[in-house]
Structure 1
Amino acid sequence: MKLLIVYQYFGGKNTMWSSRIYEMAQYWKNQGAEITVITAPYSKSDLGIQNKFISRHNYDGLNIIVINSQDNNSYSFIKRVYNQFIFSIVSIYYSLTLNYDIILTSSGPIFVSFSGLFSKFFRKKSFVFELRDKWPDGAIELGHITNRILIWVLKKFEIYIYIKSDLLVAASIGMKNEIFREGFEGNVFVAPNSCDKSFFNDNHKLNYNSSSKIFIYFGSLGVMDDVQYLVEAFELANIDGAQFLIFGDGVERIKIESYISNRKITNIKVMGILPKQEVFKWLQLSYASLIAYKNLPSLQNSSPNKLFDSLAFGIPVLHNTWGWIKDLFDSNKIGLSANPNSVLDMANLIKYIFNNPDQREIFSKNALNVSNEMFERSKIAEDYFQEMKNLL
């Protein structure tokens, strides 16, 4: 199988971002697939700064084509959309000229589907559309897109992509249900996020001596992520013997750091952005992992990588979403769910898990079991690979 993957935010084993595509592609490569990835520089990727508009690399056996249309979540909405659009247009050229059997486009943004549609219509190639974010829903809910005609066009185009894809892939069961609520009536394959610890080198553990229990957040500090909610909750919890470490970067970072500084909070620190391998070393030391999103409908069925990374290391999670993740937590007792509208509720959960180490250990064991049984990367990658092979 020759597979062309179009994904704007590719990152490898040293990325500060999701390594889902890299880890999946490594498994598929080992099964005999020949893989080319079309991507762009991202502020959290490990591809580095590109000096040419188009550059080619070999990354652990993967053929990488980098279109220098960089994205960064600190950019304005207009600049991000413009760069995403440029990336998608240039990707069409490669979809029409490269030699491959199947094209897989991974979204958001929704523009990435252009290359898949062109490939299907003009070259009769099999088109796999992977939905990781319900774009444009988030942009609409945040008020970035308000024109009713444009919203109608984008929603119709969204359904059109679903219908025209030969394989539609959702990153969570909750996202699959959202697709059906949009009116789509076809088949949807679910390939959830996961964590492959085989890529983690734990030979060098951190030499960090502290009597405090570490609560950790790692990921984007963007407008969708409600890290401010977590900061206020941890401050309100007012626990001696605990500290909250925040690993990440984004447009909200300055605001968060200013809040911490102005209120003279000493047990919350913004550590900045680190490669995923380094963050995992801190994760191993952590007592609990915190996750929060803005209370928007499109985010209730998100599939955050930080959740699966935490579970894989047996770290209990406190979160504030009300979609499929809450159902998973309620069924498997792997952490606690807070009301997204109540900072006090999250503060109480932080105090509860801090004061109940025995319950924390139960959550930890359950987290490892759930990770191994439900979100094992090689099993998910194998099922995904078989679904694509069925298209040939």
Structure 2
Amino acid sequence: MNLLFLTLAEISSVEERGIYQDLLRKFRNEGHDVTIVSPVERRKGIATNFNTKKGVSILQVKTLNIQKTNIIEKGIGTIAIEYQYLAAIKKHLTGKKFDLVLYSTPPITFAKVIEYIKKRDHAKSYLLLKDIFPQNAVDMKMLKEGGFLHKQFLKKEKKLYHISDTVGCMSQANVDFVLQNNPEISKNKVEVNPNTIEPVVFNYSDLQKKAIRKKYQVPTDKKVFVYGGNLGKPQGLDFLLETILATETQDVFFLIIGDGTEFQKIQEWFNNKKPANAKLLQRLPKEDYDQLLASCDVGLIFLDKNFLIPNFPSRLLSYLEMKMPVIAATDPNTDIGDVIEEAHCGYKVMAGNQDEMQLKIKLILNSNIKEIGERAEKLLLSKYTVDQSYHLIMEKIE
């Protein structure tokens, strides 16, 4: 089978680790021909190019800056990317016919590209719904509900659902949300196809974990609660900072690792407050990040309390992979906390409820963290491996 994958993620090799790289590597290893269309932002100064690495074709398309940039360039860039991808595909991929076009949100603006491939090659189409836009932008007050832009993006969202043969959602709450808000969509074309990875075993000894912590000047005599990933408005990180100040127990140390639009704000907070029980590190290389994560004890997930859409952050998988209990402080609409509690590998907290957060921190500290971690790994292996995503997708084209 010839597979075309469209994404906003910058992918230069499927040998890297990540939810998309792991899935595409699985397709390649199963004998399928994989072609990736991925952006290379103008800030990098690289022209549109086509190359093959380890059996995978990669078409890098020069775009405007669409990640970690101002809202105007991001908006224009997101709209323009559809036409840039289409032009690049017509130029570089004219000689290859595809059986399946696979794509993820964001963005919702790939419709013309998908329609072109479906019509040209009679291909099947599969959407991996990772972000429900424009509702998430409305939730974050970045877009006015009922305004001109909102209406235009709603049309594009519905068009994307319409041309997708299958819509794979991250969780059951996502399936329910999509069907409730888009009654014109057939229930038969929407399914749960969650974030998945190819797990790696991180069996570090206690001595090795201590050495890793010392390298980053993280205490070796405390339970380290780690938040790793994007530091942006959707994460509602004010509650994380409140939690750091409110946690008086001497047994807990908070580690924040990441980057994003809120990093500068968080760094200024650290400079002003100088918390003795926390440390902030900017984004690390993936290998270094994984090592540091593996030396921590408890994973943290934060989402803004105002979300109406049921987000399901992929960072959960990293925590489960490291055999860590998880505390998820979220809005009431996501089901990520329910999944964690049903698997007995952590707790959910309503974002903003500090009393509840302190209770769950104490429950974790008074529990057998190793046993909870074993259940976390069991959850990962039962629900979130690439084998499951791969078979769900293959069922639609066989």
TM class by smaller structure: 0.7 to 0.9
2:217 is matched with none
In structure 1, the residue corresponding to 2:302 is in which secondary structure?
A: coil
C-alpha separation in 2, matches of 1:159 and 1:199: 40
C-alpha separation in 2, matches of 1:163 and 1:242: 49
1:91 is matched with 85
1:254 is matched with 264
- The counterpart of 2:196, out of the listed 186, 194, 197, is 194
- The counterpart of 1:134, out of the listed 110, 132, 135, is 132
In structure 2, the residue corresponding to 1:195 is in which secondary structure?
A: coil
Q: 1:92 to 1:62 in 2, by over 3 A?
A: same
2:28 is matched with 29
Q: 1:276 to 1:25 in 2, by over 3 A?
A: same
C-alpha separation in 2, matches of 1:199 and 1:10: 25
Instruction: Give 1:200 deviation, angstroms.
Output: 7.4
C-alpha separation in 2, matches of 1:348 and 1:70: 46
Instruction: Give 1:303 deviation, angstroms.
Output: 2.2
Backbone CA RMSD of aligned residues: 2.6
- The counterpart of 2:59, out of the listed 51, 61, 65, is 65
C-alpha separation in 1, matches of 2:54 and 2:64: 22
User: Residues 226-375 of structure 1: matches in 2 within 5 Å?
Assistant: 226-299=236-309, 301-321=310-330, 322=332, 323-354=334-365, 356-358=366-368, 360-375=369-384
Q: 1:199 to 1:111 in 2, by over 3 A?
A: farther
Unaligned runs of 5+ in 1: 44-48
Task: Output one character per residue of 1:199-258: Cα deviation in whole Å (capped at 9) or x when no partner.
Answer: 979799552341122111111011111223112112201221321111111111111111
Q: Which amino acid in 2 is paired with 1:384? A: I
Q: 1:309 to 1:369 in 2, by over 3 A?
A: same
C-alpha separation in 2, matches of 1:53 and 1:142: 34
1:217 is matched with 227
Q: 1:298 to 1:348 in 2, by over 3 A?
A: same
Is the CA contact (8 Å cut-off) linking 2:227 and 2:301 kept in structure 1?
yes
In structure 1, the residue corresponding to 2:68 is in which secondary structure?
A: coil
Q: 1:123 to 1:61 in 2, by over 3 A?
A: closer
Moved more, 249-258 or 165-174: 165-174
Q: Which amino acid in 2 is paired with 1:308? A: L
C-alpha separation in 1, matches of 2:78 and 2:390: 27
User: Residues 2-41 of structure 1: matches in 2 within 5 Å?
Assistant: 2-11=2-11, 12=13, 19-41=18-40
Structure 1 residue 180 and structure 2 residue 179: aligned? yes
Structure 1 residue 163 and structure 2 residue 172: aligned? no
Q: 1:20 to 1:259 in 2, by over 3 A?
A: same
Is the CA contact (8 Å cut-off) linking 2:65 and 2:74 kept in structure 1?
yes
Q: 1:246 to 1:279 in 2, by over 3 A?
A: same
- The counterpart of 2:72, out of the listed 78, 82, 87, is 78
In structure 1, the residue corresponding to 2:299 is in which secondary structure?
A: strand
In structure 1, the residue corresponding to 2:233 is in which secondary structure?
A: coil
C-alpha separation in 1, matches of 2:155 and 2:336: 28
In structure 2, the residue corresponding to 1:4 is in which secondary structure?
A: strand
Q: Which amino acid in 2 is paired with 1:151? A: H
Identity of aligned residues (%): 20
Structure having greater relative contact order (Cα 8 Å, sep ≥ 6): 1
Moved more, 124-133 or 175-184: 124-133
Moved more, 94-103 or 173-182: 94-103
In structure 1, the residue corresponding to 2:352 is in which secondary structure?
A: coil
Is the CA contact (8 Å cut-off) linking 1:106 and 1:112 kept in structure 2?
no
Task: Output one character per residue of 1:239-291: Cα deviation in whole Å (capped at 9) or x when no partner.
Answer: 21321111111111111111122122122111110122222112211110111
Instruction: Give 1:381 deviation, angstroms.
Output: 2.1
Instruction: Give 1:173 deviation, angstroms.
Output: 2.1
C-alpha separation in 2, matches of 1:213 and 1:291: 17
Q: Which amino acid in 2 is paired with 1:282? A: L
In structure 1, the residue corresponding to 2:227 is in which secondary structure?
A: strand
Q: Which amino acid in 1 is paired with 2:293? A: L
Moved more, 18-27 or 4-13: 4-13
Is the CA contact (8 Å cut-off) linking 1:132 and 1:171 kept in structure 2?
yes
In structure 1, the residue corresponding to 2:254 is in which secondary structure?
A: strand
Unaligned runs of 5+ in 2: 215-219
Is the CA contact (8 Å cut-off) linking 1:244 and 1:269 kept in structure 2?
yes
Instruction: Give 1:134 deviation, angstroms.
Output: 0.1
TM-score, structure 2 normalization: 0.87
Q: Which amino acid in 1 is paired with 2:174? A: M
1:46 is matched with none
Moved more, 257-266 or 149-158: 149-158
Is the CA contact (8 Å cut-off) linking 2:124 and 2:165 kept in structure 1?
yes
Is the CA contact (8 Å cut-off) linking 1:234 and 1:347 kept in structure 2?
no
